[in-house]
A and B are shown apart, each in its own frame.
Chain A
Amino acid sequence: MKKLLAIMFAVLMIVSIAACTKPEKPVEQGKVFNIYAWNDEFKGFFEEYYKVPEGVEVKWIINPSDNGVYQQKLDEALLNQENAPADEKIDLFLAEADYIGKYVDSDYTMDISKIGFKNASTMYDYTIKAASDTKGVCKGVSFQCCPAGVIYRKSIAKDVLGTDVPEEVQAAIDTWEKFDEVAAKAKEKGYYMTASFAETFRAFSNNCTKPWVDDKGNLQFDDQITAWIDQTDKFIENGYTLTAGVWDKEKTDQMFATGKTMCFFGPAWYYNFCMTNAMDETDGCAGDWCLVKGPQAYFWGGTWLLAANGSDNTEMLKDIFETFTVNTDVLKKMVKDKNQYVNNTDVVKEFAEDASYGNTAILDGQNDIAIFYELAKDIKWENHTNYDQLLNEGLQNKLQEFYTGSVDKDTAMKNFYQYIKETYPNIVVPEA
C-alpha cells in the first residue's frame, strides 16, 4: 500500500511538473515526425544539418524506388492518412521530378504558405513550379537544383582528344554529331564513350517538347526519345558503350581507375550518389575528372520535400524547409563539404564567383558550381506527366533486353507496350 501511494505521488508530481513547464504554443505539436523517402541521401543531410526539437522523434520510412515500390508504399500510407493515429501520420515525404505532379496535384499535400513558409526569391523558379499544383499553390520545396552536364575522365580525354582542358573538350563535344565522332575516336583507342546504354537518356528526355501521354491518354514518342534510341542503337552496334543499366555494377565499376570510360552524364548529386567508386581511396581516380556542359543542356532528378496534409508537426516542417532553402550557413556547408548544388541562387552565385573555390573531392579543383550556375539558368519545367518514372524505367528495361541481344527490337518495343498495358491500363498504346 505504501508503495502504491508512493508511486501515485510520484506520478502526480511528474504530471504537475510537466503541466507547468509545458511551453505555450498556439498549436499542439506532434511527438513523432514521420518521413517517407526512397534512399539515405536526404537522411544524411538531415541528420547532419538539422537540429531536431527536443522531445520529437524522427522516424524514417525508406522504401526503394525501383519498380515503383516507393510510390506504392507512400500511396498506401497517404490513402490511410486520415484514419492514422497522429503519431503515425506522414509529416514529410520526398518526391522526385518524375512523379512529383501526382502528389502536388492532390489533396494529400499541404499548401506551405499555410504553415507560414514563404518561398524565397533565391529559390530556383522551376523548383517552385514543380512543387505547385495547377492553380499555382505550392506544396513543398527542393533542397537542390539539378542542372547536369558531362563529367569526363581527364586522362582518357587527353589520350583521345589530345587535350583535357574543359573549354577544348566542350568544343569537341558540343553537338551530338561531334559527340558521336569523339565516340568513334575513343573506340579506336580502346575506350568506351559512355558506360551504360542509358547514360545519355536524361540529356535527351529532359529536352522533350511533348509529354509521354497526351490529353486523350495516347502514348507519344517525342523526337528526343527517338533520337536517343537511334543514338543508342548506333553506340551499342559500334561498341561505344556497354549494355549495363544506369545503376548497374558493370557501369559503376568503370569509374575505378582501371575503367575505360570517358564520359558520365549527371548533376551534382551524381558525385556522391553514383561516383563513390571514383572517389575510392585505393582504386579510385579522384582528381582525374572535369565537368563540362556537353552536347545539350538538361537537368536530372532532384528531390522535393513535400508537406503531407494532416501533419501535426507544422512548425517543424516550416523549420526544415527554411533550413534547407534559406539558411545560408547550412547551405554553404552543403556546397563545400558535400559538393551539392543547393537551391539558393545567392549561395551558389557566391561560390560561382569565388575564384578560390574548387571541387577537390572528385574533380581536379575545377569550380563546378560556376558551370552548374550557368546551366541552371536554362532549366524549364514542362512536359512532365505523372507516368514519367515508370515509363522511363520501363522503356530502358525493355530496350536493354534488345541491346543485350535477348530479343529483337520489334519484340522489345512490343514488350514495352505490353508493360504499359499492365502498369497503366488507361494509357492507349499503338496496336500491333
Chain B
Amino acid sequence: MENKLKTNNGKLKSVSYAKWGYIFIAPFFIVYLLFTLIPQFLTIYNSFFETYRIGLSQVGPNFVGLKNYIELFKADPNGTVLILKYAWNTIWMWFLGALPQFVVAMLLALFFTSIRLNIKGQGFFKTVIYMPNLIMAAAFSMLFYALFCKGGPIQTLLTNKGVLEMEFDFFRHRVTVRGMIALMNFLMWFGNTTIVLMAGIMGIDQSIFESATIDGANSVQVFFRVTLPLLMPIFVYCLITAMIGGIQMFDVPQVLTKGDGVPNGTTRTLVMYLNNYLKTYNYGMSGAISVIIFIITGGLGGIVYKILSKQYKDPEAKHRERKGKVI
C-alpha cells in the first residue's frame, strides 16, 4: 500500500503503511516461532540423538544418526513393525469414527439449514449436539470404562438379559474396544462438524437453491449438484482438520485402555506410543516418532486436498469441456 505524494521540490515520496501491517501480525509470528517452529526443529534435531533418563540419571545426549529411525522400523520380538501397526490402528480408528461423524453432521446441517423443514428450537438442538464436546475427553473415557468394564453396569445388564455370556469382556476384543473409541470420538465431534458445515451451507446464496428447485431439481440433485460443490472448501477444511486431530488421537484410547492399547496393542495409537517413550524422557525415540507422524499427517492431508479439490474445483468447467463448448 503506497500513497504517492508530491513534495515541495516536485519529487515523489512514498509513504509506506505496510510496516503497520507487519507490526500487527508480528505477535502471531513471534509466538508461532517460539512455541511451534523452534520446538518443531528441536524435535527433528533431537531425533538424531540417544537421550533418555534412567530414574534420576541422564543418559546421553549422544549423536546416533538415523539409529532411532532404524530402531522404529525394526520388527519387535513378535515380528511386527510396531510403528506401522500403530499407524494403521490410528488411521482405522479415526476412520471408524469419522465416517458416521461426517454423514450424521452433514445430514443434521442440511436439516437445520433447510428452509422447507424450518425446524423449531434449533438453538436447543445445536447446544445439545455440541454438548459432548464440552466434556473432557479423559472424563468421557473414564465414564465409558466404568460403564463397560467387567462387572460394570452394561456387562451386568447384558449378561442378565442373556445377550452376553458371563465371561464376556468388552476389553478383550479388538472390535469392541476399537468400536468404543470410534463411538466416543464420533459423539464428541459430530456436533462440532455440524456447526461448521451449517455455517458453510448458510454461506451459500439462497437464490441458487431456489433456482435449482424452480428448474425441477429434486433434493438429492440439489445436494450433489449445488450444495456439495459449493460447500467443498469448508468440507475439505473440516475433513483435514478432523484427520489431523485423528492422527494425533491420544486421550480417549489412553485413558480407556490405561495406556496399554488392549488387546495386544491393537488400540494403541501413534501418540500413545510416543507418550510411552516420554516416560523415560527418551527425546530421541519420541522425536523420531513425531517426525514420522508429521510426515504421515502432511502426506494424508495433501492427498485428501488434491483428490477433493480437483473433483469439485469447478464442475461447470468439466461439463463445458465434455460438451466442447467454450463460453
Contact = CB atoms under 8 A, between A and B. Distances in A.
Given A75-B53, A249-B149, A401 B263 contact: yes
Nearest to B78: A414
Given A79-B56, A386-B55, A423 B76 contact: no
A331 B263 CA distance: 45
B56 A423 contact: no
A415 B55 contact: no
A27 to B, nearest CB: 27
B251 interface: no
A300 interface: no
Given A417-B77, A425-B52, A426-B54, A249 B264 contact: no
Nearest to B282: A425
Contacts of B78: 411, 414-415, 418, 432
Contacts of B258: 66-67
Contacts of B76: 414, 418, 421
Contacts of A250: 149-151
Q: Is the interface of A mostly helix, strand, loop or mixed?
A: helix
A351 B231 CA distance: 79
Contacts of B79: 432
B56 A102 contact: yes
A406 B77 contact: no
A288 B262 CA distance: 36
A122 interface: no
B178 to A, nearest CB: 13
A364 interface: no
- Looking at A244, A404, A411, A429, the one whose CB has the most chain B CB atoms below 10 A away is A404
Nearest to B277: A422
Interface string A398-432: 00010011110001001101100111111001011
Interface residues of B, number: 30
Interface string B120-153: 0000000000000000000000000000011110
Given A249-B150, A405-B172, A68 B279 contact: yes
Contacts of A244: 150
A108 B55 CA distance: 12
- Looking at A103, A405, A425, the one whose CB has the most chain B CB atoms below 10 A away is A425
Contacts of B54: 424, 426
A406 B264 contact: yes
A16 interface: no
Contacts of A103: 56
A99 to B, nearest CB: 8
A72 B279 contact: yes
B280 A424 contact: yes
A212 to B, nearest CB: 14
A327 interface: no
A362 to B, nearest CB: 21
Contacts of B150: 244, 248-250
Given A102-B55, A431-B77, A401 B280 contact: no
Contacts of A422: 276-277
B263 A407 contact: yes
A87 interface: no
Contacts of B55: 75, 102, 106, 386
B260 A249 contact: no
A432 B77 contact: yes
Interface in B246-288: 258-260, 262-265, 276-277, 279-280, 282
Nearest to B146: A249
A63 interface: no
Nearest to A411: B78
A232 B24 CA distance: 67
A397 B260 contact: yes
Contacts of A106: 55-56
A253 interface: yes
- Looking at B152, B259, B265, B279, the one whose CB has the most chain A CB atoms below 10 A away is B279
Nearest to A419: B276
B172 A406 contact: yes
B175 interface: no
A279 interface: no
Contact of A423 (B77, B263, B280): B280
Contacts of B282: 425
A429 B77 CA distance: 10
A252 to B, nearest CB: 9
B59 interface: yes
Interface string A249-279: 1100100000000000000000000000000
A426 B263 contact: no
A78 interface: yes
A103 B57 CA distance: 11
Interface in B155-206: 169, 172-173
A249 B151 contact: yes
- Looking at B149, B173, B264, B265, the one whose CB has the most chain A CB atoms below 10 A away is B264
A423 B262 contact: no
Interface in B54-106: 54-56, 59, 76-79, 82
Contact of B264 (A67, A401, A423, A425): A401
Contacts of A248: 149-151
A249 B258 CA distance: 14
A404 B171 CA distance: 9
Interface of A: 66-68, 72, 75, 78-79, 102-103, 106, 108, 243-244, 248-250, 253, 386, 397, 401, 404-407, 411, 414-415, 417-418, 421-426, 429, 431-432
10 contacts: A106-B55, A243-B169, A248-B149, A386-B55, A405-B172, A406-B172, A406-B173, A418-B77, A421-B76, A425-B280
Given A102-B56, A415-B264, A426-B54, 13 more contacts: A67-B258, A248-B150, A249-B149, A249-B151, A250-B149, A250-B151, A401-B263, A405-B172, A415-B77, A422-B276, A423-B279, A423-B280, A429-B77
Q: Which 10 pairs across A and B sit closest by C-beta, in order of nearness?
A: A406-B263, A414-B77, A432-B77, A250-B151, A102-B55, A250-B150, A418-B76, A414-B78, A407-B264, A404-B172
